[in-house]
Structures are given as structure tokens and as C-alpha cells.
Structure 1
Amino acid sequence: MSLSIDPCIPAGSLSGARQPELLTADGGLLLRPWAADDVAALHRAFEDTTIQYWSLRRMASRAEAEEWIAAAHRQWREESGAQWAVVPADGGEILGRVALRSMDLLQGLADCAYWVLPHARGGGVAPRSLTALSDWALRKAGFHRLELSHSERNEASCKVAAKAGFAFEGVRRSALLHTDGWHDMHLHARIQGDARGWGREG
């Protein structure tokens, strides 16, 4: 059966090239694909209780970290998702992660996710990285709409979304089960033509 619309992003447009490295607007942070050498740092990241709580994930071994990185590269090849490690642009240890999940090339839609390691929190890593990622996705990759969802109890994520230019669109009631029960979820989105976030504000 044929489609009545042209895909927003033709198949192969992303996987036909290497996953790009992205700089934040201030040049201070680099978003790069995850590498095999990142296994230990990734494993340590998922030992953080805050990351465990909000992401609902556990990573019990280095082998699971290796598989997570391998899966990230498969997602790029399959054009189903994309993951980046966030590091200082001048070199140094991993500060966090940003991602595009559930990529729908036909509709030009993806879901954004991120976390920041404890030692890097409070320095604007998340909004700067999310802005760089969404700028690339909307302006270069061809996505039309990026969504971001977080628990209504996660005030820090709400601030990150606002700083990165993601408009608040509403509440999805009792939408995600956490270890302490069901959470209402805030939905934010940024679409082509919206103002930039962190980079615009300096």
C-alpha cells in the first residue's frame, strides 16, 4: 500500500551518514556518539539513584553497559533512535546524555530524553545540550516536532524543557508507573519555527 504523504525525512537520510558530533551554542560542550571506552562511565552513571528513579532503568553489569552502547549504534543504523554522550568540548569525562527516542521519520517526530551526572548538575549542561540536539534535529535532520515528557514531580526537568525552548502543552494523567506509584506526566514540545532555547538566551 502506498503512502498519501511524502516522508518528512526520507529513509536512509540519517543512517546514510555517520552520526554527527554537535557543539552547544557557547562552544563549551560536545555531544558525541557513545564509544566502547565509555562502558565504565555509563555503568557508574546508572548507579546514581536519581538517574535510576527518573529513568526507571537498572544496569547491573558492565556487560549490560556494553550492550546499551551497541544498541545505541544499532538504533542509528536502523533510524529508530540516536544517543549522544555529553562531554566538555576541550576534553574530559562524561557529564551526561541526550537522546532522540522513538524516531518516526514519516511524521518527522521524536521523543527527547536526557540525564546529567551528579558532579555536573547545576551548570546548565542539560538545557545547553538539549538545545544543541533539538536545533540539529529540527534545522538539519528534518524533524518537524520533538516531544519531551517528564513527571510533574520532576521540577528540574520542567525548567530544562523551558530553557531549551520546549513549550508546555499539557498533563497526561497517571501516565507512567514509577517505584512509588503512578505519576502524572507533563508534555512539552518544540516544533520547526519555534524560537531557540538556551543558545538564544545566552
Structure 2
Amino acid sequence: MRPWLPDDAAALVAAFDDPAIRQWHVSRADTEDEARELITRWRRGWAAESEFNWAIVGADDTLLGRIALKGVDLFDAAAEVAYWTCAASRGRGLCTRAVLALSAWAFTDAGFHRLQLHHSTRNVASCRVATKAGFRDEGTRRGAALHVDGFHDMHAHARLRSDTALLADLG
């Protein structure tokens, strides 16, 4: 994982061209200019301490996905985890490993108390990532998020720094 760079714009446009990413995520970048604007906004989030975004890249710096902490609340030490992976990177546990790495950083280095995530009840793969990364099911929020095909019910998951399995999972 590394910070997003302006040079990632072309790869970001290609990622957002994936129908699966378009289905589950609201953000879009149809041109390299739009991608650079999005990357600039993500980088501003770091400066404002309101949102932390990383590019997930391979050893050759090829874009594999995105992971982020959104809605950062430093007073309550809480944030929401968001993620996606490029089509060629799916099915290898990459997203789960990234969520575990981000959780380790958030809980041990950044001092967060609670991380939460939400995904459409129709997004089975995202639910597997949340569960494998130790995020407990907290229920369903009905009609809570607008996707390209209408409003979806959203599963809510969360993980606390004090969760007993934390050290074993993040070790």
C-alpha cells in the first residue's frame, strides 16, 4: 500500500471502467483529468485528517486496488473502511490482507478504537472480506445506499481495538 500519485490516473480510469467497481462504488473517474481530481481530493483528505486513501500495488507498482479510511472521527477514534480490487486481482485474498494491514496500522499506530464498514447485502465477496478480516456483523441498514440500480440494504460490520482475536489476526 502506498499513497495515491497523480501518475496513477490512467490506471484509476481503467479500474473504474470495471462493471463490478461501478456497481458497488459511487466514485467515478471517466477521464484522466477526473482521476487526477479524485486523487487530489484523496490527498487533501490526508492533510485534513478526514480521509486516508492508499493505492494497493504489486511489486512492479501495478495498481491492484484501493483501500481507505473514510469519515475519520479523531475525537471518537473511529473511521469507516472502504476497499475495492481490480478485476485481475480478485479471488486471491488481497483485499482481506489489505484490510488486516490497515486495521493493524489504525489500531496500533494511529490509535483508533473502532473501524466499521458497510457493503450491499448483494455484495457477497465484500461480506467475505469483512468476515475474514474479523469484522463482526452488526446488522442490516435498510435501503441505506444508492447504487447504479437503485437503493440497496447495507450490511454493517465493525471491529474494535479490544476485540480478543485482534492480536492473532493482525500479528
TM-score (norm 2): 0.94
Structure 1 equivalent of residue 25 of structure 2: 55
The count of aligned residue pairs is: 170
Match of 2:95 in 1: 126
Larger fraction in helix: 2
Does 2:85 correspond to 1:116?
yes
Post-superposition CA distance 1:66-120 (Å, at most 9, x none):
01111111100000000000112x3341110100001000101101100000011
1:170 equivalent to 2:135? Answer no
Instruction: Tell me which stretches of 4 or more aligned residues in structure 1 moved more than 4 Å.
Output: none
Query: What corresponds to 2:42 in structure 1?
Result: 72
Q: Which residue of 1 aligns with 2:119?
A: 150
Find the counterpart in structure 1 of residue 5 from structure 2: 35
Q: Distance in 2 between matches of 1:92 and 1:183?
A: 34
Kindly indicate whether the alpha-carbon contact (under 8 Å) linking 2:133 and 2:169 is maintained by their aligned counterparts in 1.
no
Helix, strand or coil for the counterpart of 1:95?
A: strand
Q: Which has the higher contact order (CA 8 A, sep 6+)?
A: 1
Scaled by the length of structure 1, the TM-score of the pair is 0.80
Unpaired segments ≥5 residues, structure 1: 1-30
What is aligned with 1:179?
Answer: 148
C-alpha deviation, 1:172, in angstroms: 0.6
Q: CA deviation at 1:165?
A: 0.9
Paired with 2:142 and 2:89, the residues of 1 have a C-alpha distance of 31
Percent of counterpart pairs with the same letter? 49
Residue 123 of structure 1 aligns to a residue whose secondary structure is coil
Structure 1: distance between partners of 2:134 and 2:101 = 11
The unaligned stretches of length 5 or more in structure 2 are none
Amino acid across the alignment from 1:154: N
Hey, what's the Cα distance between the residues in 2 that align with 1:177 and 1:36? 29
1:87 aligns with 2:87: no
In 1, the alpha carbon distance for the partners of 2:55 and 2:85 equals 10
Letter in 1 for 2:114: R
